[in-house]
Amino acid sequence: MKFFIATDHAGVAIKPSIIKMLKTRGHEVVDLGPSNNERVDYPDYAHKLCLKVLEETGTQGILICGTGIGMSLAANKNTNIRAALCHDAYTASMARAHNDANVLCFGERVVGIGVAESIIDAWCNEGFKGEIHANRVKKIEL
Ligand code: RB5
């Protein structure tokens, strides 16, 4: 899988470990920034990442801020982006299986690296189940 990843200043510390983990598991990762912890606005990075995911079919995104809330709110303003704020492996797995989520959001101030890794593993190991869920997902866009 090819992932785009972006954070704000409150997600930048955990980012190198996440990138390393993804690469170790054989994924391609493109880091869209930022590269330091100077204060930035999470919507700027959320929209930048969503554009990339929408441009390149089949790719997915990972957005990290303090809580993951701001990133998910901003990302979901983009048509055809289904950003899921996940706190554990179960929500990550269901976001893929039932919601066909294409952007994973979580909070660096909420989960530690261990939980973050289990979220990502659950996300990567699950696929969209389609069928009844496909109709519901279609209804998300107004
Ligand atoms: C930054 O302090 C914080 O507000 C941001 O990272 C995020 O948690 C917003 O939802």
Ligand 1 lined by 33 (C-beta under 6 Å): no
Give the residue whose CA is nearest to atom 8 of ligand 1: 66
Ligand 1 atom nearest to CA at 70: 10
Segments of the chain scoring below 50 in pLDDT:
none
pLDDT at residue number 68: 98
Q: Total structural domains in the chain?
A: 1
Exposure string (b/e) for 82-93, b if CB count within 10 Å is 16 or more?
bbbbbeebebbb
pLDDT at residue number 45: 98
pLDDT at residue number 16: 98
pLDDT at residue number 30: 98
Ligand 1 atom nearest to CA at 107: 8
pLDDT at residue number 20: 98
Ligand 1 pocket mutation pick from 7, 45, 67 by most atoms within 8 angstroms of CB: 67
pTM passes above 0.85: yes
Q: Residue 94 is part of which domain span?
A: 2-140
Give the tens place of pLDDT for each residue, 97-137.
999 999 999 999 999 999 999 999 999 999 999 999 999 99
pLDDT at residue number 62: 99
Q: Which residues pair with 104 in a beta bridge?
A: 62, 84
Confirm if 108 and 10 have CB atoms less than 8 A apart.
yes
Q: What is the CATH number of the domain that holds 16?
A: 3.40.1400.10
